[in-house]
A and B are shown apart, each in its own frame.
Chain A
Amino acid sequence: MSKVHVKLTVNGKAHEALVEPRTLLVHFLREDLNLTGAHVGCETGHCGACTVDIDGMSVKSCTMFAVQADGADILTIEGVAAPDGTLHALQESFREMHGLQCGYCTPGMIVRAHRLLQENPRPTEAEIRAGIAGNLCRCTGYQNIVKAIQHAAATLAGEPFQEAAE
């Protein structure tokens, strides 16, 4: 199959590649760029394990072709920590609040939360739950994910974390 030239930025790094027009973005990221943090869980756009950030929006990378990302600026889980390796507040908070178990949904969940906190820096519990409704988790029951995002929001705002009344 003939290939198409794409040029895009991933985690601040410029990439150029030849891809088949039908190659899904998630497969391009995982197999061509070896960024295996985004996972495939359903291939139907429901689970969100493949979530990445494209030009300031959360996108499920299994619902998009790599060629559609030509010229895009993409952030994956591998680019969430600072270049010096310092973890992002969300990464610390997910560990602190036990917001993950098997780890399969975690990259998508953190990348989504990363965008959510830019859209709404101090979300309520209900806003967080609605904000991550496109990301399924089979292990945690979400309660500690919600706490982790609240914890990270507080950290980023330089405020003490207060557990929301439940």
Chain B
Amino acid sequence: MNDMTPTREEREAKLQGMGCKRKRVEDVRFTQGRGQYVDDLKLPGMLFGDFVRSTYAHARIKKIDASAALALPGVKAVLTAADLKPLNLHYMPTLAGDVQAVLADEKVLFQGQEVAFVIAEDRYVAADAAELVEVEYEELPPLVDPFQAMAEDAPLLREDIKDKTEGAHGPRKHYNHIFDWQIGDKTGTDAAFQGADVTIKEMLSYHRTHPSPLETCQCVASMDKIRGELTLWGTFQAPHVIRTVASMLAGIPEHKVHVIAPDIGGGFGNKVGAYPGYICSVVASIVLGVPVKWVEDRMENLSTTSFARDYHMTTELAATKDGKITAMRVHVLADHGAFDACADPSKWPAGFMNICTGSYDIPVAHLAVDGVYTNKAPGGVAYRCSFRVTEAVYAIERAIEILAQKLGMDSAELRMKNFIKAEQFPYQSALGWEYDSGDYHTAMRKALDTVGYDALRAEQTAKRDAFRRGETREIMGIGISFFTEIVGAGPTRNCDILGIGMFDSAEIRIHPTGGVIARMGTKSQGQGHETTYAQIIATELGIPADDIMIEEGNTDTAPYGLGTYGSRSTPVAGAATAVAARKIKAKAQMIAAHMLEVHHDDVEFDIDGFRVKGLPEKRKSMKEIVWAAYNQPPPNMEPGLEAVSYYDPPNMTYPFGAYLCVMDIDVDTGVYKVRRFYALDDCGTRINPMIIEGQVHGGLTEAFAVAMGQEIRYDEQGNVMGASFMDFFLPTAVETPVWETDHTVTPSPHHPIGAKGVGESPHVGGVPCFSNAVNDAFAFLGSTHIQMPHDHWRIWKAARALGA
């Protein structure tokens, strides 16, 4: 061996495979302003659509007069429900088994609802024309409070389904009722509560908020009438599903519908669903025969396309007097707005809310969820969350603090006492999940040791004493959250979207000189898929990541997949990528053996090629093997080197983590300061630590926003309050705390590379951590629970109410 021969480490480093902080491929174009987002698209003859929206939360439409709008130069058409009815497109199916009005049919059910779609030569004229459409309304009493939805005299909202006694998930109890979903052992749970030493019960509201990516929802529809083909570019987190839906709704065969998701400016769940804007653009392009672009403005985005949360969770725990939890009981009142457009797998009307037993070994539990209609925007998307996991984790992590308070126990100790033990995995939860792997005690201990937990509690005690003595007006809160997520939906046996199983896919093709193109059924919106999938392939196949191009979002070329949301890309498409790579690797092994003139069992993979066992100098590099696959494949073997995998995961993955927040609050102003935030995440095998850290920073910042002020609020008339960035809290660099990140690694036993997914963990774990910090600060004044969001004003009000 001479000095020029690369070492094993150098060969591995050259691959930039799994575990390295590979710089992102995407950044080269994004830092130069050369990303290609939907609104960057310009097609010849393209028109612009804009909506006329309801000014009322609940009203009957008496008349729509579009004559003044149509008279405006540059206006091409105005669509209303009357135009869509003959096409049977005035309603569209939702993912939740309901229907949603595309354009309001006779009645409007929320402020901002789509009433008419104006199409004009440019976006300015379209906006002018929308102003000129006159809609005459007859106001109806609005229903805003979900707790009043099923009152005897509540206003009837959905006249279109008023006689429907069966909903998508069983009988409806009231004309404003959507579903009643129950899981667990009710009798056993009730019995456990009856005999319990200690119980707690608290109504924990998780307020309505919005994912609000920086790029709003938008699309360009282009119908080629000669070829009978529709092309739809859009901000789609799940482009393949959108293609299927577009084909079904428009009646165009699926192979003639080309759906393309270009670069996406953030999604966070907002861009999973199908919205009236997409349908109207498609219809307009079909009618007018030219491309039609629709771009939401920010107010439309915040007030119409897909809110998140709005769960009101009456949460109970039962425990022994020494702090062993014996049962959990939860009832949720879910406000779904005017249409049930909740984006969940079909069989899960309340998503994965039944992960609400959290990280604890709770022997028996019962969960019931009632969904109701109100005069608010439809949605219920998983904002940086896997289908209601954020709500579930909030419920258990607040409840455990309340129980600790009642028991007079330290809440970290109460958690340690009740954690599922490492040896209990795979663990069957009382509400039906099989947790794949975890080591909660180790993670919690590491977190507590790193932050110096005991010293913090001692400082807090001293500060409380000083506060009582009147020496300070500042109080200190220590927030803990230990979360277990359930992500990677999911096994096709219980997870589907509109009947399509939630598998995902990867197709890898290696070209003769070693360049690789791989395509997936997912779609990055900032997660860095072009970088990380290539790292998986690099390690699996021994080909440098820089020689691998990842493509997503073009439904003509990419294999069918269910898209990116619910932290499913790594658990599902990442697994498909590894499996497809291993199929190629198996063929490469046969070729290598043929080239080396040995039996294939006598060669082994070695970083970037195959070698003869026991004779490491007899080897073939992947580059040589790939060329041979096209040049001289073994007899009876097909040439070429490519594979596809459609991966049906055997189980979900269960990432977990321990978060801790130290917060100081001035009781006279309600101003808080996050002194420290520590986040330990265990997402199993780590593909790119740099990207993981970035995901954690971003998710924590969104969690901070949601817990500390971000809200979509309605007044009693159903008017949306503050649907602009003036009022909707998006923290700037000034308010955003500094994040400390840490990790443990507990691989998933069922995932090909052991990875669990991480994108949503920080949001899921972060929200209860902040809320627990605020609540912990006030606990010594006799408070058990203060509702989110904890903005300065509300904190100040809470302090006043507690006599602080």
Name A's B-contacting residues (CB within 8 A).
Answer: 20, 22-23, 27, 30-31, 34-44, 46-47, 49, 76-78, 80-81, 87, 90-91, 94-96, 98, 100-107, 110, 128-130, 132-146, 166
Cβ–Cβ contact A142 & B736, under 8 A: yes
- For residue B732, which residues in chain A have a CB less than 8 angstroms away from its CB? 129, 132-136, 142
Q: Are B724 and A104 in contact (CB under 8 A)?
A: no
Q: Cα distance A110–B730 when bound, in Å? A: 19
Report Cα–Cα, A37/B35, bound state, in Å.
Answer: 7
Selected from B215, B263, B268, B527, the residue in CB contact (under 8 A) with A41 is B215
Are B738 and A166 touching (Cβ within 8 A)? yes
Closest to B740 in A: A166
A-B contact pairs, 11 of them (CB 8 A): A95-B31, A103-B27, A104-B37, A104-B213, A104-B265, A110-B31, A129-B736, A137-B733, A139-B694, A141-B699, A145-B733
B693: chain A residues within 8 A (beta carbon):
98, 144
Cβ A141 vs Cβ B736 within 8 A: yes
Residues of B within 8 A of A (CB): 23-24, 26-35, 37, 39-40, 42, 123-124, 212-216, 263-266, 268, 295, 297-298, 525-528, 690-691, 693-694, 697-702, 724-726, 730, 732-734, 736, 738-740
Inter-chain contacts of A105 with B (CB < 8 A): 214
- For A146, give its contact among B23, B690, B733 (CB under 8 Å): B733
> How far apart are the CA atoms of A44 and B707 in the complex, in Å?
24
A22 vs B128: C-alpha distance in the bound complex, in angstroms? 12
Taken together as a complex, chains A and B put the C-alpha atoms of A105 and B733 apart, in Å, by 13
Q: Contacts A41-B298, A102-B265, A104-B215 hold; do A139 and B32 have CB atoms under 8 A apart?
A: no
User: Which single member of A22, A36, A144 contacts B40 (CB below 8 Å)?
Assistant: A36
Q: Which of B23, B33, B725 contacts A77 (CB 8 A)?
A: B33
A36 touches B527 (CB 8 A): no
**In the complex, given contacts A101-B528, A104-B213, A140-B701, what are 15 additional A-B residue pairs having Cβ atoms less than 8 angstroms apart?**
A20-B124, A39-B214, A39-B215, A43-B297, A77-B32, A91-B31, A91-B32, A95-B24, A95-B28, A101-B527, A101-B698, A103-B27, A103-B526, A138-B702, A139-B694
Q: A133 to chain B: closest CB distance in Å?
A: 4
The docked-state distance in angstroms from the alpha carbon of A100 to that of B42 is: 26
Cβ contact within 8 Å between B31 and A94:
yes
Chain A residue nearest to B41 in the complex (CB): A36
A103–B35 contact, CB under 8 A?
yes
What is the chain B residue whose CB lies nearest that of A101?
B526
* Contact residues in B for A91 (Cβ distance below 8 Å): 31-32
Candidates A98, A104, A141; contact of B214 at CB < 8 Å: A104
- A-B pairs, 9 with minimum CB distance: A37-B33, A102-B526, A103-B30, A104-B265, A77-B33, A141-B697, A141-B701, A46-B725, A101-B526
Can you name the residue of chain A whose Cβ is closest to the Cβ of B701?
A141
Our pick among A44, A128, A142 for the contact of B701 (Cβ within 8 Å) is: A142
Cβ–Cβ < 8 Å partners of A39 in chain B: 37, 39, 214-215, 265
CA A135 – CA B730 in complex, angstroms? 11
- Chain A residues with CB below 8 A from B123, complex form: 27
Q: For A110, give the chain B residue with the smallest CB separation.
A: B31
Contact A128 B733 (CB under 8 A): yes
Please judge, given known A-B contacts A43-B297, A146-B733, whether A139 and B124 are in contact too, CB under 8 Å: no
Q: B308 → chain A, closest Cβ, in Å?
A: 14
- Which residue on chain B has the smallest CB distance to residue A34? B42
Kindly provide the distance from the CB of A14 to the nearest chain B CB, expressed in whole angstroms. 20
Return chain B residues, CB-CB under 8 Å to A41: 214-216, 265, 298
Question: Taking A39-B37, A132-B733, A140-B697 as contacts, is the C-beta distance between A94 and B266 under 8 angstroms?
Answer: no
| Bound-state Cα–Cα, A27 to B48, Å | 14
Verify A95–B730 contact, CB threshold 8 A. no
Nearest-neighbour CB distance to chain A for B29, whole angstroms, equals: 8
Most buried by A among B27, B33, B702: B33
* Residues of chain A contacted by B265 (CB below 8 angstroms): 39, 41, 102-104
Which residues of A are found within 8 Å of B739, using beta-carbon distances? 141, 143
Closest to A20 in B: B124
Across the interface, do B726 and A46 meet the contact criterion of CB distance under 8 Å? yes
Q: Which residue of B lies closest to A79 (CB)?
A: B33
Give chain B residues whose Cβ lies under 8 Å from the Cβ of A38. 33
With a CB–CB cut-off of 8 A, which chain A residues contact B690?
Answer: 98
Q: Are B298 and A44 in contact (CB under 8 A)?
A: yes
Cβ-defined contact, A138 with B738, below 8 A: no
* Neighbouring B residues of A132 by C-beta, 8 Å: 732-733
Minimum CB–CB distance from A23 to chain B (whole Å) comes to 7
Q: Is the pair A138, B34 in contact by a Cβ cutoff of 8 Å? A: no
Complex: how many Å from CA A41 to CA B235? 14
Complex CA distance for A145 and B738, rounded to whole angstroms: 12
Inter-subunit contact A137/B30 (CB<8 Å): no
Residue of B nearest to A107 (CB): B33
